[in-house]
Amino acid sequence: MARNKRIHFLADLCKDYHKVIDIGTDHGLVLKTAFEKGYIQEAIASDLREQPLKSAMKNLRNYPVTYALSDGFLSIKEEVDLAIIAGMGAYLICDILEHAPTNHTHFLIQANDKIDMVRSYLMHHNFKIMDEYLVHDKFFYIIIKAQRGQMILSEEDLYLGPYLKHKVESIPYYQQKAKHIEKIMKKADPERQEELLKMLKIYENL
């Protein structure tokens, strides 16, 4: 059973929340770890497919968990304190957030790509970023903690993160992003090169 820094970090961020839902739970490892550490009391494991739910049921059989075959939040009627939406692409996460609760629920969001797009979506859809975290486990993973509310982000904030840019552990991540942009600029068309150059300056100026 895979155990990694990302799963443990997400589980640690569940501390002090009573009831948690894991959207796209897969094997249920985040919830299992949070239960093992005594951080949560109840959970909902949700997935769009039956097979991952069956795997989650095996891993979580000794814990107070209910299971939901659901497309994101669409079939979820119960209130929760925290919703985890992690390990997916940015477009899918934004689709899921379209039907997110509008109450007091907090959200842990970890997209595998286009984190600037996720931040932009949050800004334009009545979400407010509470904090951001960086986990390095072979790859860099950014986790956003958010709630309902209003915020205004600058272009710099969209790429660097309004909280992440103030954290020293983010520097290697920004350096990697700058190197990646330099590499793809060589093969990009002129219009795309102009866009990439603007991004490069944002990462380098920090």
Predicted confidence (pLDDT) per residue in 34-65, tens digit? 999 999 999 999 998 999 889 999 999 989 99
Whether 200 and 146 map to the same domain: the answer is no
Task: Retrieve residue 156's tokens.
Answer: 């710099």
65 and 111 both lie in a single domain: yes
What pLDDT is recorded for position 1? 35
Assess whether 144 and 196 both reside in one domain.
no
How confident is residue 26, by pLDDT bands cut at 50, 70 and 90?
Answer: confident
Q: Is residue 161 a part of any domain in this protein?
A: no
Strand 127-137, strand 106-111: pairing: unpaired
Confidence at residue 187, expressed as pLDDT on a 0 to 100 scale: 84
Query: Within a domain: residue 188?
Result: yes
Same domain membership, residue 202 and residue 107 = no
Domain co-membership, 102 together with 148: yes
Q: 29 and 53, same structural domain?
A: yes
**What number is the average pLDDT over the span 16-32?**
94
Q: Does a structural domain hold residue 162?
A: no
Q: Residue 3's pLDDT is what?
A: 53
The answer to whether residues 128 and 183 belong to one domain is no
Quick check: is 148 in a domain?
Answer: yes
- Residue range of the domain that includes 118: 5-156
Q: What are phi and psi of 183, to 5 degrees?
A: -70, -45
Same domain, 142 and 111: yes
User: Is position 89 within any domain?
Assistant: yes
Looking at the structure of the chain, the number of domains it has is 2
Based on the fold, state whether residues 23 and 125 are members of the same structural domain. Answer: yes
Are 26 and 105 members of one domain? yes
pLDDT in tens, 134-180: 999 889 999 999 999 999 999 999 999 999 999 999 999 999 999 99
